[in-house]
Amino acid sequence: MSQKRGLGGKPSFFFSLGARSIKRLLAPLSDALPRIVFRLTCLAILDGFALWFFWKTVIDGIWFLAAAIAIITLGINVIFLREDLHPFRWLAPGLALMLLMVIYPIAYTIYTAFTNYSDTNLLTKQQAISAIEKEVYLPEGGISYKWTAFRSSEGKFIIWLISEDGQMLLAKPEEPIQHSPQNNPDVGTLDQENIPLTIKGYQRLSRIESVRYLQELSDIEFGLPPDTITIRSLDVAAQYERRYHFDRLKDAIIDLETGETYRAVEGTFTSSSGITLSPSFHAPIGWRNFYRLFAGVAIQGPLFRVFIWTIEFAFLAVFTTFAFGLLLAVLFNDPVIHPSYRKAIRSILLLPYVIPFYLSILTWRGMMNPHVGIINKILESLIKFSPPWLSDPGWAKAGILLINLWLGFPYMLLITTGALQAIPSEINDAAEIDGASEWQRFWYITLPLLLISVGPLLIFSFAFNFNNFNVIYLFNSGGPPMPNTPSPVGHTDILISYSFRLAFEGGRGGDYGFASAITIIIFIVLAIITLFQFRYARIWEELSENV
Amino acid sequence: MSRTRQRKIKLSIITVVGIIAIIYALFPVVWILSASLDPSNSLATQRFIPSNASLKNFVEILSDPVNPYLHWMLNSLKISSITSILTVFITSLGAYAFSRFRFRGRRSLLGTILLVQVFPNMLAVVALFLIIQQIGHYIPSMGLNSHGGLILVYLGGSLGGNVWLMKGFFDSIPRDLDEAAVIDGASHWQAFRYVILPLVQPMLVVIGILTFIGTYGDVILARVLLKSAEQYTLAIGLWMYIQGWYTVKWGLFAAGALMGAIPVLILFYLLQDLIVSGLIQGAVKG
């Protein structure tokens, strides 16, 4: 019945009119007017701000942000102007933030998976082209000049140039070269060699002074790139020329010195004979990353073993924390215990949950140090055995589960305590009267009821542990290492830390494209597992039923 | 077996398990407490009861001018409080819609929120870095190295798993309550604000605390987005401080860690009753 009623406030309000007085009808309507005005005002302010932001981003060519602002603003306007979309008004702030901070990074990761984005390809194509176009060369028969340097009191230089045919030029670093500088009012009278005696703000250098500054001077590029003049010797300065030109129509870079054509091949401009220009840029490379993953790493590498351990770890992590948390919850929920004790014990047991996880993991790592850690010292003195937590695969896995149990059981204790106290005691009482033992009651009544209410949380917990990078990486960085693997991998590495290593510790710097490809595969695997679990737990059915 | 005997057995089992659990839970905490009081500052020589206990480590970490501990803590408290308050607000709005309205796209939206949760977001930091950099280009207070930008990123996750938790809680409150209010002429907003919100208060506290703990302990996003020591949160400041050095700065690390946990501890234990009752009610249906 409430399926229909749930459609919104307005219909049910009007349907209920019949029996109500006129006064009742008018009151909410006059209430509604200020609300509508308020809503429209807010919308106008938001739109104004969004328009300003949108305009700025469009001018600067930041297309993604511009598109995001446009979509979000349009969406909010539609939602708030159309009455039938009113449920979305409640979701608008969350959805806008989710779009920007969650969905966009996912889309970006998917895009990156199909590119060769890496530490050596950080630039975009446009950035790479302008970097390459800045390069210059010194032509064989280029024009050469006689030069005279001037120096300002701050140590800045300017040079006066005279070509062989008597042309005069004035050049400063990072500024266009001035032609016919003798007309410049800053330039004083010329001597018999056509060199000015003074230039405003600068001191003319004698030949001896020029020798002193020669090293410094020959490092300077005078003029604005790519048209620059450089001092080559005490007597000669010569003009460099721009070496490369990007031909937009051919989508290729032409070498103006040799005439060679460089075409963009997967992020690097390459000539027909295979010579490449640097820097490279990131470019789409199709399914290459996935191919590399499945044909290369998956077959040669220990991917399967890593995958199995990931499943084991995620399952054991959920199981141990849940079992221990539930055990404690059941025991301390027992009426035998005085309520004030119960609260005190619970306070202590919840302690691990409130300490920031990275502090806890590092503390555990220190305590489990095989040589100086307190746990090993105690075990050594008690049972003459010190577990090799860091070097033996089995013990390393046990150590990780032990730490994870410590980190995770308080949460499970909290939620199972909540769920236990919510189970109506009549059910248990009835079973007790029917002669069920305490164990039977727990196993056949309490546990199934409990699993229904905490089921979704357990599935979330499984997904979280599947990608629990922190505990794996902070404890032992995935170690101890497996021998004879093509790329470094450890016995305790799970998929996410393995992909982190492949992508960032593979000796080639950060390979974001490849890492993104692995991320997507992990996501697909995990999504299938999660959806399957949800189906199994019949949570979708409950979703559509509960009203 | 007589009832009293059964009771005795039960009590002794509970006592044994309880003692083991308490030792397990407390051991690292006691150990770090002892390390913080041990002036020798080294992992290797630490004893359980330090021979010459002193507050030297605490004094040292609090008075280090290069690493402004208290300043970091204030940053953390500010960021975590703002994030958790806004998250509670956004989450409860969303949960109300999912619980009370039936609209097209409701199920697929809930499903999307769930699936997005399982995306391994290790690489998302690259994209988040870029977008915060771009936003900061126009609004510097929301850009890189700003607390505003960091909070914005944290809020991106506010419509996440919490919505599921809160929706379950809203479902447990009889719809007749707010429907009656709506029939009496209240708007949905009024019904939500004055009828529902007071009833779900424990759950709001739960979500708030969970968010606070999560934000307070985050090292990954804070590390990517915050650049200067002035802007660091406590987690990232302490992290950078001990990184690679923690065996020789063991005592300082311990002192810093202990004091860092105090705000969360206080908050958690002040609100413990509300949290537990919130979770209990969350599991009640109808």
Q: Return the CATH number at A68.
A: 1.20.58
Say if residue B250 is exposed, middle or buried (CB neighbours under 10 Å; 0-12, 13-18, 19+): buried
**What's the mean pLDDT when you consider all of chain A?**
81
Question: Do A519 and A426 fall into the same domain?
Answer: yes
Question: Do A94 and A160 fall into the same domain?
Answer: no
CA-based nearest residue to A487, from A308, A291, A304, A296 = A296
DSSP state of A490: B
**Number of DSSP helices (H) and strands (E) in chain B, helices first:** 15, 0
Provide the pairing of β-strand A144-152 with A157-163: antiparallel
Measured between beta carbons, which residues in chain B are less than 8 angstroms from residue A466?
118
Chain centroid, CA A365 distance in Å: 27
Give percent of chain A above pLDDT 70.
89
Phi, psi of B206 (to 5 degrees): -60, -50
The reply to whether A250 falls in a domain is no
Which pLDDT does position A18 carry in this prediction? 45
What is the Cα–Cα distance from B83 to B207, expressed in whole angstroms?
Answer: 11
Say if A314 is an interface residue toward chain B (CB within 8 Å). no
What is the Cα–Cα distance from A280 to A225, expressed in whole angstroms?
Answer: 21
Q: In degrees to the nearest 10, what's the CA dihedral of A460, A464, A466, A470?
A: -170
Question: Do A92 and A175 fall into the same domain?
Answer: no
Say if residue A191 is exposed, middle or buried (CB neighbours under 10 Å; 0-12, 13-18, 19+): exposed
Which pLDDT does position A145 carry in this prediction? 84
Provide the domain count of chain A.
Answer: 3
Question: Do A221 and A177 fall into the same domain?
Answer: yes
Least confident piece of the model among A64-68, A164-168, B255-259? A164-168
* Highest-pLDDT range among A203-217, A423-437, B88-102, B164-178: B88-102
What is the Cα–Cα distance from A390 to A192, expressed in whole angstroms?
Answer: 83
The reply to whether A359 falls in a domain is yes
Q: DSSP letters of B218-262?
A: --HHHHHH--STTT--HHHHHHHHHTTTTTTSHHHHHHHHHHHHH
The reply to whether A492 falls in a domain is yes
Measured between beta carbons, which residues in chain B are less than 8 angstroms from residue A2?
175, 179
What is the Cα–Cα distance from A240 to A226, expressed in whole angstroms?
Answer: 8
Q: DSSP letters of A183-224?
A: G-TTB--B-TTS-BS-BTTEEEPPHHHHHHHHHHHHT--BBS
pLDDT, one tens digit per residue, over A383-408 is 888 888 888 999 999 999 999 999 99
Instruction: Confirm if B86 and B150 have CB atoms less than 8 A apart.
Output: no
Q: In degrees to the nearest 10, what's the CA dihedral of A514, A520, A526, A530?
A: 170
**Residue B65, min C-alpha distance to chain A (Å):** 22
**Which tokens go with A472?**
């794996």
The reply to whether A524 falls in a domain is yes
- Helix (H/G/I), strand (E/B), else coil: A237: strand
More confident residue, A349 or A542: A349
Question: Do A146 and A108 fall into the same domain?
Answer: no
Which amino acid type is present at position A79? Answer: I
Of A242, A261, A283, the position where a domain reaches its end is A242
Query: For the stretch A358-370, what's the b/e string if a residue is b when 16 or more beta carbons lie within 10 angstroms of its beta carbon?
Result: bbbbbbbbbbbbb
Instruction: Confirm if A444 and A436 have CB atoms less than 8 A apart.
Output: yes
More confident residue, B72 or A84: B72
Q: With an 8 Å Cβ cutoff, are A356 and B25 in contact? A: no
**Which residues in A56-167 belong to E strands, given as ranges?**
136-137, 144-152, 157-163
Which amino acid type is present at position A512? Answer: Y
Cβ-proximal residues to A275 (8 Å cutoff; 6+ apart), any chain: A260, A262
Statement: residue A9 has pLDDT above 70: no
Say if residue A91 is exposed, middle or buried (CB neighbours under 10 Å; 0-12, 13-18, 19+): buried
Any idea what the Cα angle at residue A126 is, between residues A121 and A128, rounded to 5°?
A: 45
DSSP state of A119: G
Question: Do A345 and A484 fall into the same domain?
Answer: yes
Question: Do A305 and A432 fall into the same domain?
Answer: yes
Measured between beta carbons, which residues in chain B are less than 8 angstroms from residue A109?
123-124, 127
**Which tokens go with A525?**
């695997």
Which pLDDT does position A19 carry in this prediction? 44
**Cα-based distances in Å from A270 to A125, A410, A513, B137:** 14, 59, 21, 35
CA-based nearest residue to A9, from B190, B110, B90 = B190
Statement: residue B8 has pLDDT above 70: yes
Question: Do A500 and A381 fall into the same domain?
Answer: yes
Question: Do A352 and A431 fall into the same domain?
Answer: yes
Among the partner-chain residues B122, B163, B182, the one whose CB lies closest to the CB of A12 is B182
- Helix (H/G/I), strand (E/B), else coil: A264: strand
**Which tokens go with B71?**
């300043």
Among the partner-chain residues B44, B246, B280, the one whose CB lies closest to the CB of A421 is B280
**Cα-based distances in Å from B118 to A106, A460, A468, B122, B203:** 11, 8, 11, 11, 23
Question: Do A104 and A141 fall into the same domain?
Answer: no
Of A203, A225, A242, the position where a domain reaches its end is A242
Measured between beta carbons, which residues in chain B are less than 8 angstroms from residue A368?
none
**Residue B204, min C-alpha distance to chain A (Å):** 15
CA-based nearest residue to B281, from B163, B201, B209 = B201
Question: Do A368 and A488 fall into the same domain?
Answer: yes
The reply to whether A269 falls in a domain is no
pLDDT, one tens digit per residue, over A320-374 is 999 999 999 888 887 777 777 887 888 888 888 878 787 788 888 888 888 778 8
Range of the domain at A145: 136-242
Q: Longest C-alpha distance within chain A, in Å? A: 124
Q: DSSP letters of A303-340?
A: HHHHHHHHHHHHHHHHHHHHHHHHHHHHHHHSTTS-HH
Statement: residue B96 has pLDDT above 70: yes
pLDDT, one tens digit per residue, over A61-83 is 778 888 888 999 999 999 888 88
The interface predicted TM-score (ipTM) is 0.85
The reply to whether A255 falls in a domain is no
**Which tokens go with B159?**
């419509």
Statement: residue B197 has pLDDT above 60: yes
Question: Do A102 and A152 fall into the same domain?
Answer: no
Which amino acid type is present at position B37? Answer: L
Q: Return the CATH number at A164.
A: 2.40.430.10
- Reported as type and span, the H/E element at residue A139 is none
Which amino acid type is present at position A368? Answer: M
The reply to whether A4 falls in a domain is no
- What's the full length of chain A, in residues? 547
Measured between beta carbons, which residues in chain B are less than 8 angstroms from residue A353?
213, 268
The reply to whether A271 falls in a domain is no
What is the Cα–Cα distance from B211 to B154, expressed in whole angstroms?
Answer: 9
Average pLDDT over residues A465-480: 85
Q: DSSP letters of A374-412?
A: HHHHHHHHHHS----TTTSHHHHHHHHHHHHHHHHHHHH
- Reported as type and span, the H/E element at residue A520 is helix A512-536
Q: With an 8 Å Cβ cutoff, are A530 and B28 in contact? A: no
